[in-house]
Amino acid sequence: MKLTPARLLDGRLRLPGDKSISHRAALIAALAEGSSEILNFSTAADCASTLACLRELGVSIERKHDKVIFAGNQKLVAPRRPLDCGNSGSTLRILAGVLAGHDFTAELIGDESLSSRPMRRIIEPLEMMGAKIESTDSKAPLKVHGSNRLNPITYKLPVASAQVKSAILFAGLSVKGRTTVIETSPSRDHTERLFNGFGVPVTTNADLSVTLDGPARFTGGPITIPGDVSSAAYFVAAAMLLPESRLIIQGVGLNPTRAAFLSVLSSWGAGISTTDLQTERNEPYGTITVRGGLTGTAGDSERTLSRSMIPSLIDELPLLAVAGSQIPGGIQIRDAAELRLKESDRLATTATNLRAMGAEVEEFDDGLAVSGPTQLHGALIDSHGDHRIAMAFSVAALIAKGETEIAGAECVAISFPEFFTLLESLAKR
């Protein structure tokens, strides 16, 4: 994909449903009593992987564009084939939790990237609960031997991960007794919000522990998935970086464990406001309005992203590194070694690609220091098959001098197939 610089972004839009919420809504609908209708279901390839796996498990699902209908009252059955999770860490890890509580064996497989990502983090707690999981070196393929007699556990997460927390909570649905997950830094809480929204008793306590009393019986129903705020992030950042821009994104998720990048950009002087706040099954959503340009100068503390902020910014960090190259004084990202374990090693792929565009970047074990402001120049960018790298550097391309080519740009379909079409419709040259 070749991209040329833009003068500004101008437009009003709505986005396909949030990827994280869509995965969870589909799993809940598959396990619920009664039928469910999910509207604005994510168009991401990752969420299609979740639906495909559920179909292999015998769940009846009808999909018409963004509407997905689950018949309900379904009993999962042993799949005849391995369950292909594609590139999707959320599918593999959270589904492993669901399978742990079912009395059959299922194999979870993924693509090359997913097969190289760490799975010890789910194997350990799910085995403590009583499932048996075979793997090679704690990586996928995983063979999950589930049990309908899992034990309740109290588990302190060694890494801040919503996928691991969710795997344990989904396994906890069938457990007789109280399952407790303790976090050290708060990660996205969609599972907790949707569980409560569909009648599963989950409590989040002041000490960052989450408790679920099982076995849980719950009923499906309609849900409209809020627009994906992580997809919105690319347009918001691009609008901020192109001073004449004016952008309105309606119906977009504003869950605080996901929308923290908005506060970060605002603290750098961005003209961002959120209005029309509403909720859908406990998930907040609303309208984001961006006026292009930056006012004021951010201090050192606003330009350092670290510690407990990291989990709620995790998917936006490559984009924030790109935006940070335009901030007086630049930015620092620390305590983010988890980025090395995503679809690509995002610290390395962000640093290499930023340098290719002329930025000065220092790479640490757990982060990056990006100098700024720097005039970026067009370059050949290697996405490494990582959707978030392809999209972050498409934003960089809009503010660079000259043409940028993104190699492997088709990987945006993993989370946001409409990305380039929408970007071109908003960009004025």
Active site residues: 315
- Binding span for ligand S3P by CB under 6 A among 67-75, 161-169, 174-182, 320-328: 161-169
- Closer CB to ligand S3P, residue 22 or residue 174? 22
Subset of residues 357 to 376 that bind ligand S3P, contact rule: CB under 6 A:
none
Q: For strand 380-382 and strand 404-407, is the pairing parallel, antiparallel, or unpaired?
A: parallel
Measure the CA–CA gap between 379 and 358, rounded to whole angstroms.
Answer: 9
Q: With DSSP H G I counted as helix, E B as strand and the rest as coil, what are the percentages for the chain, rounded to 5?
A: 35, 30, 35
Task: Give which of 70, 71, 121 is closest to 92, Cα–Cα.
Answer: 121
Per-residue binder mask for ligand S3P (CB under 6 A), 111-150, x = binder: ----------------------------------------
- Closer CB to ligand S3P, residue 192 or residue 302? 192
Whether the CB-CB separation of 274 and 288 falls below 8 Å is answered with yes
Q: How far is the CB of 314 from ligand S3P (least distance, A)?
A: 5
Cis peptide before 118 (omega within 30 of 0): no
- Binding span for ligand S3P by CB under 6 A among 76-84, 98-106, 159-167, 393-401: 159-167
- Closer CB to ligand S3P, residue 49 or residue 166? 166
- Closer CB to ligand S3P, residue 261 or residue 400? 261
Q: Is 49 in the site for ligand S3P (CB under 6 A)?
A: no
* The pair of three-digit structure tokens given for residue 170, joined into one six-digit string: 């989904």
- The CA angle 162-121-389, to the nearest 5 degrees, is 60
Residues near ligand S3P (CB under 6 A), total? 10
The dihedral through the CA atoms of 404, 409, 415, 421 has a sign that is: positive
Q: Is 88 in the site for ligand S3P (CB under 6 A)?
A: no
The correct pick among 43, 74, 91, 161 for binding ligand S3P (CB under 6 A) is 161
- Closer CB to ligand S3P, residue 188 or residue 193? 188
The correct pick among 49, 87, 91, 163 for binding ligand S3P (CB under 6 A) is 163
Residue 31 CA neighbour count, 13 Å, CB half: 25
Task: Give which of 236, 190, 162 is closest to 391, Cα–Cα.
Answer: 236
Q: How far is the CB of 231 from ligand S3P (least distance, A)?
A: 12
Q: How far is the CB of 319 from ligand S3P (least distance, A)?
A: 13
Count of other CB atoms within 10 angstroms of residue 410: 14
Q: Is 162 in the site for ligand S3P (CB under 6 A)?
A: yes
Count of other CB atoms within 10 angstroms of residue 296: 11
The correct pick among 40, 49, 90, 224 for binding ligand S3P (CB under 6 A) is 90
Q: Is 231 in the site for ligand S3P (CB under 6 A)?
A: no
Whether the CB-CB separation of 42 and 68 falls below 8 Å is answered with no
Measure the CA–CA gap between 402 and 424, rounded to whole angstroms.
Answer: 17
Q: How far is the CB of 159 from ligand S3P (least distance, A)?
A: 7
Token pair 């919105």: residue: 232
The correct pick among 20, 50, 287, 312 for binding ligand S3P (CB under 6 A) is 20
- Closer CB to ligand S3P, residue 90 or residue 224? 90
Q: Is 391 in the site for ligand S3P (CB under 6 A)?
A: no
Phi, psi of 140 (to 5 degrees): -65, 155
Q: How far is the CB of 88 from ligand S3P (least distance, A)?
A: 9
The correct pick among 179, 187, 231, 353 for binding ligand S3P (CB under 6 A) is 187
- Residue 236 burial (10 A CB sphere; 0-12, 13-18, 19+): buried
Measure the CA–CA gap between 209 and 298, rounded to whole angstroms.
Answer: 34
Q: Is 315 in the site for ligand S3P (CB under 6 A)?
A: yes
Distance (Å) of CA 418 to CA 31, 170, 393, 394, 424 = 30, 31, 16, 13, 10
* The pair of three-digit structure tokens given for residue 221, joined into one six-digit string: 């129903």
Q: Is 314 in the site for ligand S3P (CB under 6 A)?
A: yes
Whether the CB-CB separation of 361 and 390 falls below 8 Å is answered with no
Measure the CA–CA gap between 171 and 151, rounded to whole angstroms.
Answer: 10
Q: Is 188 in the site for ligand S3P (CB under 6 A)?
A: yes
Q: Is 384 in the site for ligand S3P (CB under 6 A)?
A: no
- Binding span for ligand S3P by CB under 6 A among 155-163, 218-226, 256-264, 322-330: 155-163
Residues that bind ligand S3P (CB under 6 A): 20, 90, 161-163, 166, 187-188, 314-315
